[in-house]
Amino acid sequence: MRPLTPRRIILICAGLTGVLLIVVLIALRMGAYSISIQDIAMTLFRGALGRRDEILPDFWNVVFEIRLPRILLGILVGASLAVAGAGFQALLRNPLADPYVLGVSSGAALGAIVSLVIAPRTPGAIQVAAFVGAALTVAAVYFLGRRGGQLDSATLLLAGIVMASFLSAAIMFLITTLSGHDLLRGMAFWLMGDLASPPPTRDVLEWFGFLFFVFVIAAGAIYTTSSDLNLILSGEQEARHLGVNVNRVKLVVYISASILTGLAVSVSGAIGYVGLLVPHVMRMIFGTDYRLLIPTSVIGGAIAIVLADTLARTVMGPTELPVGAMTALAGAPVFIYLMRRRVR
């Protein structure tokens, strides 16, 4: 294995970013409304210069109102879930950990359902309520998952799993008692994960700006712990002896990964598999060093979701599938292929 140099990290990330750009272009091109790549380029160019008058209203709507916000949301959600997954896998020292293993998605779903009952048909209510639900779950799991005042991987995992099943039961109870509710039809979509929801604010710019800001802070915080995570993964005692503040690292990863998951779940529902599979795929391709794993997971997660959503929008056209169905359907075979190839 070649040594990990900053140069190598930057080269790999640049390569992956190139792949992401190609995927974004494909996603912009594909869809029920057919629009040529030249028209997309011209629309983007004129849009960036603020010359909207020169753009056909149809092109404007398709590119700037429908496809681009969806792609940006996909990038953000995919990157958040993949980093959170990588973080939880290290924190819990469990390869099966994903962003939802500690019940964050169940808490968010419960919040979303409660919002449908209290404030039905209010744009943005679901997102806010889901985030509140996720935050409360994270706090509850944190207090349940400590032993001797410190985060303990095994206790945390158990607390999270118990919390997740308790909340899932509460969700099932609510769904059954509310089975008449017309609004629950949309809920099924939300539970599977869906990127079609428009931003809750009138100002799209402000919304994505806010989301990217939170993402950069939380993902950056996890990144600062990456060399410590490498040591912790080889053994907590050894890491302590080497001067790593294990408790601080765990707390930082727990909070940041929870924020990322809560954010992703609130805006798009529980999109499965990306948070579990992407870090593993990146490990298989680029190795287990967290200094490389975290940035590659960011870009890999974005690629995975944008691709999956493009498929979800087009395979059944004009009917759109929830992106969550596509990530599982397309993700599992890719993962099995990589796993078998490595075993051989």
287 near another protein, judged by CB under 8 A: no
How far apart CA 269 and CA 187 sit, in angstroms, is 9
DSSP 54: G
185 near another protein, judged by CB under 8 A: yes
252 near another protein, judged by CB under 8 A: no
Q: 109: which 2 tokens? A: 């779903």
Please select the residue that binds another protein; options are 38, 182, 237, 344, rule is CB under 8 A. 182
How far apart CA 73 and CA 208 sit, in angstroms, is 8
How far apart CA 49 and CA 30 sit, in angstroms, is 24
256 near another protein, judged by CB under 8 A: no
Distances (CA, A) of 142 to 104, 223, 232, 272: 11, 21, 20, 23
Helix (H) or strand (E) holding 33: none
How far apart CA 14 and CA 6 sit, in angstroms, is 12
DSSP letters, 134-177, are HHHHHHHHHHHTEETTEE-HHHHHHHHHHHHHHHHHHHHHHHHH
CB of 148 to another protein, least distance (A): 29
CB within 8 A of 288, min separation 6: which ones? 230, 233
Contact assessment for residue 232 and residue 72, using Cβ atoms and an 8 Å cutoff: no
Contact assessment for residue 233 and residue 153, using Cβ atoms and an 8 Å cutoff: no
31 near another protein, judged by CB under 8 A: yes
Please select the residue that binds another protein; options are 18, 54, 58, 247, rule is CB under 8 A. 58
Please select the residue that binds another protein; options are 3, 50, 149, 333, rule is CB under 8 A. 50
Please select the residue that binds another protein; options are 38, 49, 149, 333, rule is CB under 8 A. 49
Q: Which one of 102-110, 164-172, 221-229, 249-257 is the stretch in contact with another protein (CB under 8 A)?
A: 221-229
Instruction: Report helix, strand or coil for 182.
Output: coil
Shorter beta-carbon distance to another protein: residue 53 or 149: 53
Shorter beta-carbon distance to another protein: residue 149 or 180: 180
CB within 8 A of 193, min separation 6: which ones? 268, 269, 270, 271, 272, 322, 323, 324, 327
9 near another protein, judged by CB under 8 A: yes
CB of 247 to another protein, least distance (A): 19
Please select the residue that binds another protein; options are 8, 173, 203, 342, rule is CB under 8 A. 203
Q: Which one of 54-62, 107-115, 156-164, 255-263 is the stretch in contact with another protein (CB under 8 A)?
A: 54-62
Shorter beta-carbon distance to another protein: residue 146 or 291: 291
Please select the residue that binds another protein; options are 109, 138, 164, 219, rule is CB under 8 A. 219
* Residues near another protein (CB under 8 A): 6, 9-10, 13, 17, 31-33, 44, 47-53, 58, 60-62, 64-69, 72, 121-123, 176-182, 185-186, 189, 194, 196-198, 203-205, 208-209, 212-213, 215-216, 219-220, 223-224, 226-227, 291, 295, 313, 317-322
